[in-house]
Amino acid sequence: MASDLDTVPAIATRREEAQGWLQGLVSKGVGWGRKYSIFQYPFVTACCGMEYMSLQMARYDLDRFGAAAPRFTPRQADLLMVVGTINCKQAPVLRRIYEQMAEPKWVMAFGVCASSGGFYDNYATVQGIDRVIPVDVYVPGCPPRPEQVLDAIMLLQKKIQDQPHKLMDWAPVPVLGHGPSDR
């Protein structure tokens, strides 16, 4: 025989559980919005730039991924696409551009030279940009095909959507002139 406590509806929840549910719901909404609003900053230095230009053509339609319009200032972008070879003299510039980007930010290594230095195994070439900045997605190939870049963008979108987002801590803001200490 079941007691009355077993039939109580599950409406009454603890505050943490309710906040966790709300935070999960908001996190999914924010993840979906960020997934389809990728603003890219192209850092093009070498021959992979031709493939980057072909990626911007109507045939590949980056607009369906929400990544169509490149931004040419790091303060308006959230995806840094490093396209091509990075020299040791360019590494501090790349680091500064990465630091100027607002959070959240992601990095794509476009091509084998940006990923691992390519066939340039010498003192003047950075052997992978992950020695300078953190990388989220690597696109292999010399040069990579636009289809590979589209696959990498879809992989990055999945990573962005699955990333947890925190709700802001809601605290009442004191209004001057209305408190007991302001009399």
Domain-embedded: residue 42: yes
Residues 48/84, Cβ–Cβ less than 8 Å: yes
Q: Residue 1: inside a domain, yes or no?
A: no
| 108 three-class SS | strand
Contact criterion met (CB below 8 Å) for 139 and 111: yes
Residue 136 lies in a domain: yes
Domain-located, residue 108: yes
Q: For position 73, which CATH number holds? A: 3.40.50.12280
Give the C-alpha separation, 179 to 55, whole Å.
59
Residue 44 domain-assigned (yes or no): yes
Cα(183)–Cα(180) distance, integer angstroms: 6
Q: Say if 54 falls within a structural domain.
A: yes
Q: Encoding tokens for residue 66?
A: 């929400």
Please give the order of strands across the beta sheet that includes 40-44. 40-44, 79-83, 106-110, 137-139
Looking at the structure of the chain, the number of domains it has is 1
**Is residue 24 in some structural domain?**
no
DSSP-derived letter for residue 76 is: G
Q: What per-residue confidence (pLDDT) applies to 74?
A: 87
pLDDT at position 107 is 93
d(CA 101, CA 72): 12
pTM of the model: 0.73
120: domain range? 38-161
For the chain, which ranges sit under pLDDT 70?
A: 1-21, 165-183
Whether residue 116 lies inside any domain: the answer is yes
pLDDT of residue 4: 55
Angle ∠(82,27,139) on CA atoms, nearest 5: 20
CA distances from 52 to 10, 41, 57, 68, 106 (A): 54, 12, 9, 12, 17
pLDDT of residue 98: 93
- The whole-number pLDDT of residue 134 equals 93
**Confidence at residue 174, expressed as pLDDT on a 0 to 100 scale:** 56
Of 105, 54, 61, 62, nearest in space to 81 by CA: 105
